[in-house]
Amino acid sequence: MRSPSGYNLQPWRFIVLQDLASKEKLAECAFNQRQVVEAPVVLICCGDRRAAESENIEAVIQLGKELGAVNDAFADYMRQAIPQLFENRPCFESLETWTNRHTMLAVAHLAIAAKSFGVDSCPMEGFVGDRVKAAFNIPETVDVCCLLPLGYAAEPMKQYGGRFDLAQVYYSESYGEELQLDF
């Protein structure tokens, strides 16, 4: 919930599944992957594409005003700049890309916060979005970004597959330029 977002628009929404019947229904939309029914809690992590609609903009303004973070001038700027950003889309292809960017950042924070309480999680993209939406009354304007089973893993679900070297994923000053670190 405290994850950052552009203009503080907070598009993430989570459906918390604890009932076995709900988890079984979800598993049918997720290739019957066993962690969906085995985990005590599963989150359906959604991104609401209506984040840039005036109703949400006004809610964010109201929130900021209550905390003294938004004054009238900044509120007016937001009312003008946010719709413009979503019209021009200089840094994202589609509304779906934008909601996914923000929701997955929130999910990443959530997974790390969960781990700090000793709770394991397993982000999942192995699901059929339209089926999940139909089964859980998710509006057309809301995307399912991932599923997140949460619980106490008895053992690692799979063997650690390793990660690329730092040199493969970090560049210096320009894409593809080697980053040299002096330790």
Residues that bind ligand FMN (CB under 6 A): 33, 122-126, 146, 157-158, 160-161
Two structure tokens written together for 84: 């413009």
CB of 61 to ligand FMN, least distance (A): 32
Residue 37 or 85 having the CB closest to ligand FMN: 37
* Nearest distance from C-beta of residue 5 to ligand FMN, angstroms: 18
CB of residue 99 to ligand FMN, shortest distance in Å = 15
Chain position whose Cβ is nearest to ligand FMN: 126
Burial status of residue 29 (CB atoms within 10 A of its CB: 0-12, 13-18, 19 or more): buried
Q: What is the DSSP letter of 175?
A: T
Decide if 143 contacts 133 (C-beta within 8 A): no
Which CB sits closer to ligand FMN, 71 or 97? Answer: 97
Q: Which two tokens stand for residue 120?
A: 């394991």
Q: How far is the CB of 31 from ligand FMN (least distance, A)?
A: 8
Q: Smaller CB distance to ligand FMN: residue 2 or 163?
A: 163
Q: Which is nearer to ligand FMN, 2 or 158 (CB)?
A: 158
Scanning the structure block, which residue is given the tokens 């139909």?
134
Please, which residue, 45 or 61, has the CB nearer to ligand FMN? 45
For the chain, state the CA radius of gyration: 19
Strands lying side by side in the sheet with 142-151: 12-17, 41-48, 142-151, 120-121
- Taking the complex as a whole, the smallest distance from the CB of residue 17 to ligand FMN amounts, in Å, to 16
CB 108 within 8 A of CB 5: no
* Distance of closest approach, residue 126 Cβ to ligand FMN, in angstroms: 3
**CB closer to ligand FMN out of 61 and 145:** 145
Q: How far, CA to CA in Å, does 110 sit from each of 103, 106, 120?
A: 10, 6, 11
